[in-house]
Amino acid sequence: MRLCGCVGACTAFFMYKSRMDQTPLLQMQGISKSFPGVQALKDIDLTVYPGEILALVGENGAGKSTLMKILNGVYSADEGAITWQGQPVAIHSPHDAQALGISMIHQELALIPYLDAGKNIYLGREPQGAIPGTVHWRKLYQQAQADLAELDLKLNVRTPVRFFSIAQQQMIEVAKALSIDARLIVMDEPTSSLTDREVDTLFSRMRSLRERGVSIVFISHRLEEVRAICDRVTVLRDGILVGTHPVAEVTTEDIIRMMVGREVGQMYERRNRAATDGVVLEVRNLSRGDRVRDVSFALRRGEILGVAGLVGAGRTELAETIFGAHPATGGEILLEGEPVHIRRPQQAIRSGIGFVPEDRKRQGLFLGMSVAANVVMAILRRLTRPVLIRWPRVEAITRESIQRLDIRTPSQAQRVRNLSGGNQQKVVIAKWLTLDPRVLILDEPTRGIDVGAKAEIYRLMHQLAERGVGIIMISSELPEVLGVSDRILVMHEGRLAGEFDARTATQNDLMNAATGTTLNKGMNPA
């Protein structure tokens, strides 16, 4: 009986071996997924063969992470089917995915900061001790130590992970994914904060896994890494599958073109405006820990300065530092030639700097409060003289803002929660305009906003620039950066990696600088 089973299994294995090139390990077919107001994925096909490394690339927001979360059972697809080793499967939870042999390295670190490395690696899979329910700690730590050693990591497995650097935490996460005996490992930007040496170690481990027949889906913004390690590349753009190609048959430029290939144009009307010379804001050697390193630039009056870079490149941190949300650890800030000391947002506001944050729902708005309250929040002090709020003034100011920015709301009393994304963003901008700012920093001002509202926000930015406001716009959408800005700074790992004239720069230029492909150009005054 047993022998038969074994023989059967062996035969099956060899048959499987011989078909290895034809039978995909994983097939995702016709996957669609929409979130309220956004079609995140539309009819996506993804195929992974045994023993291959498949790159999944696309711009921020192209749908890579959503697709992988569907594979991992975090989200469920609206439409489409998943086939695993030729069998249709339903994956409802990360647990189901693990049971199939799919392990995942998440983009956001998925470690518990107060637990040590060993516990983190084996959480949910603890080796059992002598008594049921207990944990065999010695075995757990030995295995964890071995897992780390395989990645050439000399870390103490008993140290709480919060004491490790982000790079070390990322490697622990890699060790965790590898320690699950998986058939498919999804790595969502595993290298985003690793050093070159650690990347090399990771790659050599990936190659040996591939030789053992393990498949890997590798998500990365760094295209040179894709070229170095991947067999095939699948490109997504705006939730749509652009294509899948063997890496050997396409150039890096081809991949970039596929990633960004939408039509730039009508959306952005180029301004014809004489650049004024007056510098309104100057930043010299600004640093904040290792998030912002030695950044210097000048912003002219009436200029729109785009800041591009990958997620985590330090763009938001730069904005927060200028705004005083997180004090600088070095460098200085000058407003119209005068050094200003900004340690807190209040000081920035008083100096005439406004900041439209990235996450408007959590950082920019009081969702449960009225449009009027949100609009006047920054000048409340002025409206409460001597003691009580002067509601007629509030109403007048709000009415003016609603008109000027064309905020579509049934009334001033409407809760901001009930407005559309575009109108919410206009409320945030309206708040800063009540202050008559000299400098307005906008962090991802059009994220999650529909096309029509985007165009309105751009027009508004142009109007402000026309009136002499200096504008800094952080954006991950390259066409937007190119279309809206006058000048573009690109950040990479906390530093300025390039400066471009928006009239002549191309998306490839920006992408290359953002991924650190080219050496730093120009910039950096000594």
Partner 1 sequence: MTPSTTLSWQVTLGNVLRRTAVLLFLIALGLYFSSESEQFLTERNLTNIAQQNAHVIIVTIGMTLTMLVGGIDLSVGSVAALGGAVSAGLIVREGLPIEAAVILTLAMGFGIGLTNGALVVFGKLPPFVATLSMMGVARGLTLLYTNGKPISGMGEAYTRWGRDRLSVPVVGDVPLPVIVALAVVLLALLLLTRTRFGLHIYAVGGHQETSRLAGVPVSRVQLLTYGISGMLAALAGMLLAARLYSAQPQMGVGLELDAIASSVLGGVSLFGGVGNVPGAVIGGLLIGVLGNGMNLLRVASYQQQMIQGIVLVVAVTVDMYTKRLERR
Binding residues (CB under 8 A) for partner 1: these are 74, 94-95, 98, 104, 106, 110-115, 119, 123-126, 128-129, 133-135, 137, 153-156, 158-160, 163-165, 167-168, 195, 198
Residue 107 vs 507, nearer CB to partner 1: 107
Query: Contact 246/54 with Cβ under 8 angstroms?
Result: no
Residue with tokens 């300025």: 496
In terms of Cβ atoms closer than 10 Å to its own Cβ (0-12, 13-18, 19+), residue 71 is buried
Residue 135 vs 209, nearer CB to partner 1: 135
Q: At what angle do helices 196-211 and 166-179 cross, to 10 degrees?
A: 10
Q: At what angle do helices 451-466 and 421-433 cross, to 10 degrees?
A: 10
Q: How far is the CB of 204 from partner 1 (least distance, A)?
A: 17
Q: How far is the CB of 72 from partner 1 (least distance, A)?
A: 8
* Closest listed residue to residue 455, CA positions, set 419, 403, 492, 406: 406
Q: How far is the CB of 360 from partner 1 (least distance, A)?
A: 23
User: With helix as H, strand as E and coil as C, how does 402-466 read?
Assistant: HHHHCCCCCCCCCEHHHCCHHHHHHHHHHHHHCCCCCEEEEECCCCCCCHHHHHHHHHHHHHHHH
Q: How far is the CB of 133 from partner 1 (least distance, A)?
A: 5
Residue 12 vs 123, nearer CB to partner 1: 123
Going across the sheet that includes 304-309, the strands are: 353-356, 439-443, 470-474, 304-309, 487-492, 495-501
Q: How far is the CB of 208 from partner 1 (least distance, A)?
A: 22
Residue 152 vs 231, nearer CB to partner 1: 152
CA–CA separation, 69 vs 118, rounded Å? Answer: 25
Residue 199 vs 367, nearer CB to partner 1: 199
Residue 19 vs 158, nearer CB to partner 1: 158
In terms of Cβ atoms closer than 10 Å to its own Cβ (0-12, 13-18, 19+), residue 175 is buried
Q: How far is the CB of 113 from partner 1 (least distance, A)?
A: 7
Residue 74 vs 435, nearer CB to partner 1: 74
Q: How far is the CB of 99 from partner 1 (least distance, A)?
A: 9
Q: How far is the CB of 181 from partner 1 (least distance, A)?
A: 14
Q: How far is the CB of 171 from partner 1 (least distance, A)?
A: 10
CA–CA separation, 154 vs 385, rounded Å? Answer: 62
User: Rounded to an integer, what is the distance from CA 383 to the centroid of its chain?
Assistant: 39
Sort residue 348 into left (φ over 0), alpha (ψ -120 to 50) or beta: alpha
Residue 49 vs 137, nearer CB to partner 1: 137
Residue 68 vs 427, nearer CB to partner 1: 68
